[in-house]
Each structure stands twice: as C-alpha cells, then as structure tokens.
A and B are shown apart, each in its own frame.
Chain A
Amino acid sequence: EVRLVESGGGLVQSGGSLRLSCEASGFTFSSYPMTWVRQTPGKGLEWVSGISGSGDTTYYADSVKGRFTISRDNSKNTVFLQLNSLRVEDTAIYYCAKLYYGDYAVLNAFEIWGQGTLVAASS
C-alpha cells in the first residue's frame, strides 16, 4: 500500500521556522517527483513546492520563494519542507503528495496525498 505520513507541524511565532517531513512507503520513492500543497479555509488548496525524483530540480510558488526550501533523502524515503520567515498567512494544513508520473515534477497530477500536518504562525 502506498502511504505518506507527514510530521513536524506546530505553532510558531511569526518570523520563526519549522521543518516538515513526509515519509513514504509502498513505492519506489526515488523514481517519483514529490510536492507540497497547503490548504486554508479561506483560500482552498494552494500548490507550494515540487522536487524531482533525483532531487536536482525544485520548483516553488511565488508566495514562498526565498523562504521555503524543499529537499529529499532518497535513502530514507523522505521529503522535507523547510519553512523560514513564517508569516501569519502561511497558517494552513500542509500535505505532501506523490505525483502520478515519474517524469515530471510539474505538469503532473497529485496521485497520493498524506494526512497533512498543521502549521500555525501567530503574530
């Protein structure tokens, strides 16, 4: 069974940092690009970042570029999202997702989603 389990969320003051982790199982992790998507009640779903299977190509939404960093450790089947300079508007549930096709970190459907981890940034 394909499974994704996020961790690392929590409450942090504005300007603070968090590191989210997503551990994968049930598929050949290094063969697939991975992504992070967040969800807030007011704004719905928002794509945040993506990374290729090898980890050598990364993509970011304009809203997080320069503040968030995506990375992966294929030896541990884990993808990470480092959140720096957090803002109140970053408050959301953060989901990691496996992309459907192995070739592209973008232009690809979000096949499998984790259960999400809540990040709350207070002012």
Chain B
Amino acid sequence: QSVLTQPPSVSAAPGQKVTISCSGSASNIGSNYVSWYQQLPGTAPKLLIYDNNKRPSGIPDRFSGSKSGTSATLGITGLQTGDEADYYCGTWDTSLNTGGVFGTGTRVTVL
C-alpha cells in the first residue's frame, strides 16, 4: 500500500527534461530523507538519488532530486531512450510503527 503519491506517467521527446513529483505528509517526506529508484522492465529497482539530492557513484548528473516540505521531485534532463522505466520515490514514515514507504510509481516514456 503506497502512501506517497506520484503521477502515473510522464513523457517527453529525446533530449528534453521531465520532472516527477512525489507527495507525502509530515510524518514521512516532511520528516525524513527521500530516495528515488529506477526500475527498468523486468529488473530490480536501482538507487538513483539518496538523502533528497545525492547521487550514488555511477549515476549521471542528468538525474537530480529535491525536496520541499512534504513533497519531493526527481528531474531527468537530456532524456534518452534508455531512461524509459518506472520511477519510485521512497522514504520512511515515523508516525507510529517506523517503516519504509514508497510512491505509487511513474512510468517515463520517451516519445
């Protein structure tokens, strides 16, 4: 059960930019770091962004993250066909039972 809301899909032409929003609440995004994951078809998720805006080694700077209040955003610039995938935001909810929470997922399509 996803408690973070993302748009179901976004699309753009090669070379363009897309942004994906992730909306939560004070007990999750508002209180904790946000991470972002890319899931290519038929594969496991892959960490793209951690601690709101940091990129692990090997992730190109075309991917960026930001957070403001109870929302976060993933940006992808210079869109490539290889970026077609599902993207998920994730964080932790520290309301009662601390647990991980994920977004509903966004399918990125390169036109």
The number of residues on chain B lying at the interface, defined by a beta carbon within 8 Å of a beta carbon of chain A, is 27
Q: Is the CB of B44 within 8 A of A110?
A: no
Given A111-B56, A113-B44, does the pair A43, B98 have CB atoms closer than 8 Å?
A: no
Enumerate chain B residues within 8 angstroms of A100, measured Cβ to Cβ.
47, 50, 56
The stretch of B15-23, B67-75, B100-108 in contact with A is B100-108
Q: Mark A20-58, 1 if CB is under 8 A from B, else 0.
A: 000000000000000101000001111100100000000
Given A45-B90, A46-B1, does the pair A110, B37 have CB atoms closer than 8 Å?
A: yes
Residue B64 interfacial (CB < 8 Å): no
Enumerate chain A residues within 8 angstroms of B43, measured Cβ to Cβ.
115
Enumerate chain B residues within 8 angstroms of A116, measured Cβ to Cβ.
44
Residue A88 interfacial (CB < 8 Å): no
- Interchain CB contact (< 8 A) of A107 among B45, B46, B56, B92: B92
- In the docked arrangement, what's the CA distance between A112 and B33, Å? 17
Q: Is the CB of B35 within 8 A of A110?
A: yes
Q: Is the CB of A47 within 8 A of B100?
A: yes
Q: Is the CB of A45 within 8 A of B99?
A: no
Q: Mark B1-25, 1 if CB is under 8 A from A, else 0.
A: 1100000000000000000000000
- Interchain CB contact (< 8 A) of A110 among B2, B47, B103: B47
* Cβ of B52 to closest chain A Cβ, rounded Å: 10
* Cβ of B33 to closest chain A Cβ, rounded Å: 7
* Cβ of A11 to closest chain B Cβ, rounded Å: 20
Q: Is the CB of A110 within 8 A of B1?
A: no
Residues of B at under 8 Å CB distance from A?
1-2, 32-33, 35, 37, 43-47, 50-51, 56, 88, 90, 92, 94, 97-105
- 13 further interface pairs, Cβ-Cβ under 8 Å (given A35-B100, A45-B2): A37-B102, A44-B2, A45-B88, A47-B102, A59-B99, A60-B99, A63-B1, A65-B97, A107-B94, A109-B33, A110-B47, A114-B44, A116-B44
